[in-house]
Amino acid sequence: MEKATKEPPFQAVDQRRTFEQILMQVEEAIIDGRLQPGDRLPAERELAQTFGVSRASVREALRVLEMFGVMVARRGTGADAGSVVADSAQSGLQSALRLHAGLLRIPTRDMVEVRAILEQHAAQKAAGRAQPGLTGRLHEIVDGMREATDIHEFNGLDTEFHVELARASGNALLPVLMEALRGTMRRAMLDGFARLPDWRAERDHLVGEHERMIGYIEAGDSVAAGAALQQHVMRFYRHVMEPEAATSG
């Protein structure tokens, strides 16, 4: 039997709107599954011929896709060089959220409140699943948090904990949103830690809160897990991230 020829993911575009149409075709190819994470795009010259446009237009589109976190550009001239479909879009979503938060002057408290709602839901869902081994990685992260020696290390592990908890909910979108929100608030969180007279005391308190949250999830107590997560997020904001709260406490 003759092997079916794989249909190419792209076609020539209308010259009037080359930049937008290239982006549209890439988007459609990803949504349709014709482009998968890890797939390598043809070289710029070949793409330009396929689309029927200049290499400058292709290069511009690839730069935008890289900024969105959709593509990863690998420099060089060897077999590994070129643009590759990313296996994660968190960096692009985080950049977009951070920019829009700045442009729209969205208060940190508003982002914290949205995060608290999402985390409450994630904890409830995780507790409802209560599968064996679901919290193993969470325990490992908390052990690392307990031994963290600087605020950057601790904040990185804390972010990993909350992203992993969102992943434990079973909802594929929650960890993506959580990582974007945490990344957007990273500077405010680090600034808050730096203002504390003894950040290690806060570290120890947070470790205890995280351990209790894991306990509720393991017990399958959705109500307690959700309430604990929401209280944890809002307490941290009031005690650490609000300048007046951190300096007066």
**124-138 pLDDT, tens per residue?**
999 999 777 889 999
For residue 7, the tally of other CB atoms under 10 A from its CB is 7
pLDDT value of residue 190: 96
Q: What is the pLDDT of residues 14-48, one digit of tens each?
A: 555 687 888 888 889 988 889 888 888 888 889 99
Tokens 């208060």 belong to 107
CA distance 222 to 74: 44
At 92, is the pLDDT very low, low, confident or very high (cuts 50, 70, 90)?
A: confident
Of 125-139, 165-179, 192-206, the poorest mean pLDDT is in 125-139
Between 165 and 73, the higher pLDDT residue: 165
For residue 55, the tally of other CB atoms under 10 A from its CB is 14
Residue 245 has pLDDT above 50, yes or no: no
pLDDT value of residue 20: 81
pLDDT value of residue 90: 62
Span(s) in the chain for CATH 1.10.10.10: 15-86
Between 11 and 187, the higher pLDDT residue: 187
For residue 112, the tally of other CB atoms under 10 A from its CB is 21
Burial of 103 (0-12, 13-18, 19+ CB in 10 A): exposed
Residues 104, 109, 111: CA angle, nearest 5 degrees: 60
93-108: average pLDDT: 87
pTM: 0.78
DSSP at 16: G
Q: Per-residue DSSP letters for 182-194?
A: HHHHHHHHHHHHH
pLDDT value of residue 136: 94
58-68: average pLDDT: 86
Tokens of 41: 């795009």
Tokens of 235: 């307490």
Longest dimension (CA), the chain: 78
- The whole-chain average pLDDT of the chain stands at 87
Span(s) in the chain for CATH 1.20.120.530: 91-248
Residue 170 has pLDDT above 80, yes or no: yes
At 5, is the pLDDT very low, low, confident or very high (cuts 50, 70, 90)?
A: low
CA distance 83 to 38: 10
pLDDT value of residue 248: 39
CATH class of domain segment(s) 15-86: mainly alpha
Superfamily for domain range 91-248: GntR ligand-binding domain-like (1.20.120.530)
Tokens 């300048």 belong to 243
Of 40-54, 66-80, 200-214, the poorest mean pLDDT is in 66-80
92-113: average pLDDT: 88
